[in-house]
């Protein structure tokens, strides 16, 4: 865990010596109630911010903003996308502002030397053929919720949790399932972002209740 961060969860889907996804990280800065998520290969260029205020951003970093070619494509704003999630209020609140989707057919071969090997890195089992696994970022505001796993559907499990200074609890869970055919067709229509041609992270999907869905897609970049 970084000395700057109060909570860090590093993960990838697949086999450390075989087919795998990109390497992802979710973290909470020390003393903060904001959660950040990034895929390691482009963490210096783009990250997701799930703020205590309820504002959620997919944005290029200050480092990326120094590249004239990237700024020219995005205009004056650093934000690729912005949305809101419900925040702590009186009563019980549960929100899932972000899902990261891993399709079995998008896992790719890696040389073992290029796979994360640290003890705090978490490998999630690859889904079966023609199936997928979603990693969910969940916020809850009630002790009733935080005393139990908020995700109990078949094929789902709780991976990590962190109580935040503002009273909310942040959870990471996963769900294995068979994608609907229209999801696969939708994904097939997406194109690699020309901002980062070697790292395909499809960001255009919006699920129920304003949930943003990122898709980790096959590419040639290293997870190191």
Is 155 among the domain residues?
yes
Mean pLDDT comparison of 123-137, 141-155, 168-182, highest-scoring range: 123-137
**What is the pLDDT of the chain when averaged over all its residues?**
77
Q: What is the distance between the alpha carbons of residues 186 and 98, in angstroms, rounded to a whole number?
A: 18
pLDDT band at 24 (very low <50, low <70, confident <90, very high): very high
Q: What is the mean pLDDT of residues 118-140?
A: 89
The answer to whether 117 touches 150, Cβ cutoff 8 Å, is: no
Q: What is the mean pLDDT of residues 133-137?
A: 94
Is 222 among the domain residues?
no
Q: How many percent of the chain have pLDDT more than 90?
A: 30
pLDDT value of residue 81: 82
Is 73 among the domain residues?
yes
Higher pLDDT, 121 or 146: 121
Q: What is the distance between the alpha carbons of residues 63 and 45, in angstroms, rounded to a whole number?
A: 6
Is 49 among the domain residues?
yes
Q: What is the distance between the alpha carbons of residues 109 and 111, in angstroms, rounded to a whole number?
A: 7
Q: What is the distance between the alpha carbons of residues 11 and 24, in angstroms, rounded to a whole number?
A: 5
State yes or no: pLDDT of 61 exceeds 70. yes
pLDDT value of residue 68: 64
Enclosing domain of residue 175: 5-216
Q: Residues 47-62, buried b or exposed e (16+ Cβ, 10 A)?
A: bbbbbbeeebbbbbee
Is 113 among the domain residues?
yes
The answer to whether 66 touches 84, Cβ cutoff 8 Å, is: no
pLDDT value of residue 206: 63
Q: What is the distance between the alpha carbons of residues 86 and 131, in angstroms, rounded to a whole number?
A: 30
**pLDDT tens figures, 189-224:** 443 344 444 445 655 566 666 788 888 876 544 333
pLDDT value of residue 26: 96
Contacts of 144 (CB under 8 A, 6+ apart): 92
The H-or-E segment that residue 185 falls in is helix 181-189
Residue (of 79, 96, 74, 78) closest to 174 by Cα position = 96
Is 29 among the domain residues?
yes
- Long-range contacts at 216-220 (CB < 8 A, ≥ 24 apart): 216/13, 216/21, 216/22, 216/24, 216/39, 216/100, 216/101, 216/102, 216/106, 217/103, 217/106, 217/187, 217/190, 217/192, 218/106, 218/107, 218/108, 219/22, 219/41, 219/108, 219/192
Split into its structural domains, the chain has a count of: 1
pLDDT value of residue 200: 53
């Amino acid at each position: 865990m970084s000395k700057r961060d109060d909570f860090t969860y590093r993960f990838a889907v697949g086999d450390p010596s075989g087919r795998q996804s990109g390497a992802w990280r979710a973290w909470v800065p020390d003393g903060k109630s904001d959660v950040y998520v990034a895929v390691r290969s482009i963490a210096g260029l783009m990250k997701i911010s799930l703020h205590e205020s309820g504002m959620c951003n997919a944005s290029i970093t200050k480092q990326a903003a120094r590249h004239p070619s990237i700024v020219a494509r995005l205009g004056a704003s650093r934000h690729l996308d912005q949305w809101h999630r419900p925040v702590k209020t009186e009563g019980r609140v549960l929100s899932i502002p972000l899902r990261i989707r891993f399709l079995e057919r998008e896992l790719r071969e890696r040389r073992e030397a290029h796979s994360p090997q640290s003890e705090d890195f978490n490998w999630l089992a690859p889904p079966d053929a023609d199936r997928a696994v979603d990693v969910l970022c969940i916020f809850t505001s009630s002790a009733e919720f935080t005393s139990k796993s908020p995700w109990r559907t078949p094929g789902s499990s709780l991976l990590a949790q962190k109580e935040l200074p503002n009273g909310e609890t942040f959870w990471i869970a996963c769900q294995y399932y068979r994608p609907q055919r229209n999801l696969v067709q939708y994904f097939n229509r997406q194109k690699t972002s020309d901002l980062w041609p070697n790292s395909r992270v499809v960001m255009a999907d919006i699920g129920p209740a304003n949930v943003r869905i990122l898709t980790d897609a096959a590419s040639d970049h290293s997870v190191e």
